[in-house]
Amino acid sequence: MKKRRKRNLSLYQKFCLVIITLGLIPMLFLSTVIVNRMFKEYGNSLRSNYVQAASYVSESLADMMESYNGVSKMPYYYNYSSEGEFQFNYMSYDNLRRIIYGIGEDPEYMEANRYKSMMVFLGNVQAVDSYISGAHFVGEGIQGEKLAFHRSRRNIPSEEETVFDARMGLDGLDRNSKNLMLILTHKNDYFRMQDSWVFTLARNYFDLTGTVGNYKYVGTLFIDVDLERMEAAFKNLNLNARDQVYVCDRENNCYYSSDESLIGKNLTSEGVRFEETKEEFVVDTPYNASGLKVIITMKTATAYEKIRRMQTMMYVFIGASLAALLGGSVWFSRRLTKPIRNMMEQMSEIETGNFQVRLPVTSGDEIGVLSKRFNQMSKELESYINQSYVAHMKQAEAEMTALKSQIYPHFLYNTLDIIVWMIENEQKTEAVKVVTALARFFRISLSRGKSLITVKDELEHVRNYLMIQQMRFKNKFTYTIESDDEVLELASLKLMLQPLVENAIYHGMEYMDGDGEIFVRAWQEEKELYLEVRDNGLGMTEEQVESLFTDTAHVASKRGSGIGVRNVNERIKLYFGAEYGLSIESEPDEGTAVKIHLPAVPYEKVLEEKKV
């Protein structure tokens, strides 16, 4: 049994394997460990920052409530007269009660003076803080009748007393409480033309002149505070736009939230749960002295956005390092295999058509043997190309020359007939145009025997041809020629577009009557040049398109120039390489588009290289 031959790795493969094993794998492992550690530390730090932020807001809210707690005690030390003037009075704690009960007032003016004095009192309450948008006092008169006084920032009285009672929960209000009471955030729509969010602070006011410990209820002071005051506590925090914040009491009533739809509602009833998941983490604080707590929720994707960017940067750095390692391995391996690399470079020269390259033979080892065989191969290729390729080129040029010798007389006769007919019909202007176009057409066709011309000349050549044919066929078709400015001085083979346009006229529009369209365009994409001839004629099937490149019968058309699609395609490949040539898109009754693909090379450069 024949022993299987072991496959040997090249030096380049071995060197890359060492680099990957000793460099890349440890780097990937280390970076993974570092990234995981960074994520953990970043998560802990982020949570700590949010806990501190929530605690800061909670303390700010507690301080705010404490300041409003002091404001709510104003009824006990209020000492302004009914005219709104300050009076020094040791019994100031009883001043508001006297105003409410109308003590010392003339019965005839008591009601009016009481209302005026209470408006002054409520105005003083509002003046304490710019966030206080409304002040109310609801109490009982001497006879037990309900007394209600309301003042807004705009000094607009309430029109909806029942709305106010419902918002404050007046029927269920604890009139025995001696502490500050907090009423859930609501709309202050009990004031005319107002509809903003406020939360209300309430404090009962008692008659302190009675028996100690048995004080009579006089009324309750309500203070409306704009929700912006609570929102201001969050403005100094650097929170993300997708973070959600909540301020809730022990019953889970929401006093403030970044989600306005939840403000003033019970979060439990709304189905809001604060449970930490992989997609979201939650930070909350204990209930402060006011019975409120702060909750902050944050999307994990948003929370780790910055560190994700750092991770991406790290991976980019690793990728760059990998590229550097591989680049270094390529450089080092090529340094070790310099003779082989030199041979590869010389082979590239052969691919470009230079078969005169020879390698120096400096040793008798395997490299020397390869060099000798390489030189022999180059010599044989040069001999073969001289016999085959050059002969093919000359044959193609001879065919084109012969075909042109058939084209020009026939085309010239037809054109001269048109000119004679125009002159006889006194169409001198049109005749001059046709003569001028004919002269330009033959000037470019001859081009002193050159096979290469500029794109500008090629487009001018086909423009003159189309103008003559349009006159000949009496405007059976229209044509448009467009090009980008940067392609006009690029190199083009002569007589590429004419046969394509001729096919469009004679075959594509054979049965059309006056509505034919031919569109010629030239443009550049990166280092490639494209020219296209498109028509709206009869079109072709896939078999007909394929036959244009394979059937020699299509080289000469019955009524056309005879150069044909196949000849143009072969000439392009001979001059510029097998990767260039023609491509055709066509559908029956949908027209035909023939695209020419050439290298985008300046005319002067190609002229010098080809020596044409």
Residue 437: pLDDT over 80: no
Residue identified by tokens 């099937």 is 541
CA dist 199 and 184 (Å) reads: 6
State the pairing for strand pair 452-454/244-248. Answer: unpaired
CA dist 531 and 568 (Å) reads: 13
What confidence category does residue 86 fall into, taking pLDDT thresholds of 50, 70 and 90? Answer: very low
| Residue bearing the bigger pLDDT, 416 or 429 | 429
Residue 106: pLDDT over 70: yes
Residue 218: pLDDT over 50: yes
Q: Which tokens go with 595?
A: 């695209």
pLDDT for the residue numbered 199: 94
Residue partners of 350: CB distance under 8 A and separation at least 6: 357, 378, 381
The mean pLDDT of 41-52, rounded to a whole number, is 78
Residue 408: pLDDT over 70: no
In this predicted model, what pLDDT tens digit does every residue of 147-199 receive, in sequence order?
A: 999 998 766 655 578 888 888 998 889 999 999 999 999 998 888 777 789 99
pLDDT for the residue numbered 295: 92
User: Nearest Cα to 111, choosing from 137, 162, 149?
Assistant: 149
Q: Distance from CA of residue 611 to its chain's centroid?
A: 50
The mean pLDDT of 452-469, rounded to a whole number, is 85
Sheet containing 244-248: give its strands across.
254-257, 244-248, 293-299, 280-284
Residue partners of 190: CB distance under 8 A and separation at least 6: 150, 158, 159, 160, 161, 163, 164, 167
What confidence category does residue 93 fall into, taking pLDDT thresholds of 50, 70 and 90? Answer: low
- Identify the top-confidence range among 305-314, 490-499, 529-538: 529-538
pLDDT for the residue numbered 265: 92
Least confident of 75-79, 88-92, 94-98, 159-163: 88-92
What confidence category does residue 137 fall into, taking pLDDT thresholds of 50, 70 and 90? Answer: very high
| Residue bearing the bigger pLDDT, 3 or 127 | 127
Q: Mean pLDDT of all residues in the chain?
A: 78
Residue 594: pLDDT over 90: yes
The mean pLDDT of 420-443, rounded to a whole number, is 65
| Residue bearing the bigger pLDDT, 174 or 313 | 174
pTM reported for the whole predicted model = 0.49
- Hey, is 158 helix, strand or coil? strand
pLDDT for the residue numbered 506: 79
In this predicted model, what pLDDT tens digit does every residue of 541-576 receive, in sequence order?
A: 888 888 887 765 444 444 444 457 888 888 888 878
Locate all alpha helices (DSSP H) within 274-337, ordered by sequence.
300-303, 305-336
Residue identified by tokens 């260039």 is 580
pLDDT for the residue numbered 468: 80
One-letter amino acid of 66: E
The residue length of the chain stands at 612
pLDDT for the residue numbered 263: 93
Residue 98 parent element (H or E): helix 95-101
pLDDT for the residue numbered 481: 92
pLDDT for the residue numbered 208: 83
State the pairing for strand pair 477-483/516-525. Answer: parallel
| Burial bucket for residue 176 (CB in 10 Å: 0-12, 13-18, 19+) | exposed
Residue 403: pLDDT over 50: no
Residue 36 C-beta-side C-alpha neighbours within 13 Å: 6
pLDDT for the residue numbered 421: 60
In this predicted model, what pLDDT tens digit does every residue of 331-373 receive, in sequence order?
A: 666 555 666 667 667 666 666 666 666 777 766 656 666 677 7
In this predicted model, what pLDDT tens digit does every residue of 249-275 receive, in sequence order?
A: 999 999 999 889 999 999 999 988 888
* Percent share of the chain, pLDDT over 70: 70
In this predicted model, what pLDDT tens digit does every residue of 507-537 receive, in sequence order?
A: 777 667 768 899 999 999 988 999 999 998 8
Residues 68 and 330 sit within 8 Å (Cβ to Cβ): no
What confidence category does residue 377 fall into, taking pLDDT thresholds of 50, 70 and 90? Answer: confident
CA dist 455 and 481 (Å) reads: 12
